Amino acid sequence: MKSPIHHIALVICACCISFSTYSQEDTTSTNAGIELNRPMLELGVGTFNYFGDVGKLNGIGSTSHLNWGYRIAFKNQLSNSFNADLFFLFGSITANERLVDNDVNFESKIRMGGLSISYNFNALLPEDRKVTPYISLGIASYDFSTKSDLYDAQGRFYNYWDDGSIRDIAQNDPNAGNAVEIQRDYDYETDLRKFSDREGDYDLRAVTIPVGIGAELEMTPSFTLRLGTEFHIGLSDNLDNINDDSYESTRSGNDHFMYSSIGLAYNLKHKKKAPKESFLPMSEDLLALEYEDEDQDGIADIIDHCPGTPAEADVDEFGCPLDGDKDGVPDYLDLEPNSVADAKVNSDGVALTDEEISAMYKAYLSDSGEMTYVKSATYTADLKLKRKISQSNGYRVTILDSDDLSSDEIASLLSIKDVKFIETASGGQYYLGTYQSLTEAVEKQMMVYQFDTEIEHLVDGQATMVGQEDIAGVMEGIDASHIDPDVVVFRVQIGAYRYRLSKDVFKEVPDLLVIEGNDGLTRYVSGSFYTIQEAAEHKVDLLLKGFEGAFVTAYRGGKRIKLKEAGATVNSKENIEAKESGQINKDLVKYTVKIGAFEGRVPAETLGEFMNLGGVRPVRNTDGITTYVYGMYNSFEEAEHTARVLKEDGFEDAEVVGDFNGKIIDADEAKKIKGE
């Protein structure tokens, strides 16, 4: 016949399987953003209270002991009101009763495993509570080994005399006069089942029915504190090795015990991360985006770290030109493809000789002032310091009153696909164009009639204003009815912020519009498209650049409209009212230490100091100035410490700046983006 523990093991295994099945079903069926049920792991400590024969034998006294027990449990939610606990309990139960001529004592070590179901009153109590009461009922099986303290450390049997002493010889022994008084050592060394010759009478396994009550306190979303008591209704009368026939005064019934404990549970629940908002309704577009390769180097644009690679350049798995000797000059431009490791080279990849390096220092020491830092055409764009809005010939429409625009004016402006933006000393300037004919420019001007505008004629980059008489003459021949007010223009809004961000944050963003509204928000918008597929692809590109808050917007007839009205498939509710938005990937925002900035030339001594310091990297700014920075840090404090050390080492201009995806920004701006 199988023992009770076999039956309990089968029950526990069945419950484990149900736990697993429940979690798998939940994971499969749960939508994004919904918590998935996972077990809670609890560790607890408490004490046992014994309710059995010892202490009820009508002796002259009994002693209570502090019996420690330790609990491990895996808790899983079955429903809103019921939880299942798979628990394991370890500890010992000790009791002692002094009889007239004897002493009954035992210690039984407990190893228990069981399952309980608890009810938490969720259906009856308010949801916004911190403390949750519960009741529980379960079944458990335990192993026990009952031993007694019958001998001292020298192996002498305890004999209890009428005077209350313990001696090594019995009181009625003929040699009792030679008895020596001894003390108990409380080492439970004797197996009571063997000592009483009851090895075949009972098994050292038993079953209990635990009935519990308690409360749980939610300390944090991850940790819960539990206080509770379980009364274990025993189905065995052998825990203390005493049954109904052992003593005349033995009580009838089984041995029970109570376990009172405190436990700390860690919540393993997690939220399935919601997928980022997507407006790519067609799988064909996604497939095309995945395999698009503009520079034809065999690396898809979506993972190409170096877009626009020349056709003659061999590239690595990231689409970047190979550099076999690791000198910073790609192989297709390197005139010395096998330079010595760590050699200092010029822009052609040719190692600098000692004489050339020495000449650089001498040029500085002689105050010649002719030392020019030669920049690699591969990594530094040869930009002019002063840019003109356009070097093309034609006509453009300039919008004059573009400050503090209302939401209607912003929508009207963004409805026009050709609107452009250029940074100026006073903030920025919007314009439409450039158009080859005055008629095209006048048609565009008619579309922005609510703005104060003027038309400029560009010839070799020089602009002259077109007179009103010329404009009026052209307007007489324009049929305004052919201008389609129902054309939808899609754009990608990067964000709307309460503070203006540096232009260097958006260095790699094409067709950027910076719009300041009278609601205190500065909007950053990129691109203009006639199809949502094009806009969605552009949004993906911006997401990859770190602008995680980018989303597609639609405009028609001078107003912003919902994407659903524009013909897109949208699964969530749209809110097109103006509000603060936008999120930049904080992981791409670091701190670095700026140690110098030069407009095209670096003093030879300074260049030598940079070389000796090591780890200095140049960053070309949009204004043509090259900034030299050192190190990369996750916290402002680390960078600030490095800046102090560099100042002590002679780099007096060292200061902390931000780095966003390889672009230098102000340190305070980096703090804003990181939320510090």
- The DSSP string of 2-70 is --HHHHHHHHHHHHHHHHHHHHHHHHHHPPTTSEEP-PEEEEEEEEEEEESSTT-S--SEEE---EEEE
Share of residues in the chain with pLDDT > 90 (%): 23
pLDDT in tens, 42-63: 999 999 999 988 888 887 777 7
Contact 541, 430 (CB under 8 A): no
What pLDDT is stored for residue 392 in this prediction? 61
pLDDT value at residue 409: 77
- Cα–Cα nearest to 97, from 168, 134, 144, 149: 149
| Residue 215 pLDDT class (50, 70, 90 cuts) | very high
Tens-place pLDDT, residues 571-595 = 677 776 756 566 777 888 899 999 9
Q: Which of 420, 477, 427 is nearest to 448 (CA)?
A: 420
Q: Which pLDDT value is given to residue 251?
A: 65
Q: How confident is the model at residue 442 (pLDDT cuts 50, 70, 90)?
A: confident
pTM over 0.85: no
Predicted pLDDT at 45: 96
Please state, rounded to an integer, the average pLDDT across all residues of the chain.
Answer: 78
Length of the chain: 676
Closest CA to 628 of 594, 602, 671, 603: 594
Quick: pLDDT tens for 450-485: 778 888 888 876 888 888 888 777 777 776 555 556
- Closest to 38 (Cα-Cα) out of 275, 273, 274, 272: 272
- Looking at residue 376, what is its pLDDT? 31
Least confident span in 117-126, 352-361, 592-601, 617-626? 352-361
285 HSE (CA, 13 A, CB side): 14
| pLDDT tens, residue by residue, 610-640 | 878 888 888 877 666 788 899 999 899 999 9
User: What is the side-by-side order of every strand in the sheet holding 551-556?
Assistant: 512-516, 522-529, 488-497, 551-556, 559-561
Residue 387 has pLDDT above 50, yes or no: no
Q: Is the pLDDT reported for residue 370 higher than 50?
A: no
Average pLDDT for residues 176-190, to the nearest whole number?
Answer: 91
Number of helices (H), then strands (E), in the chain: 11, 29
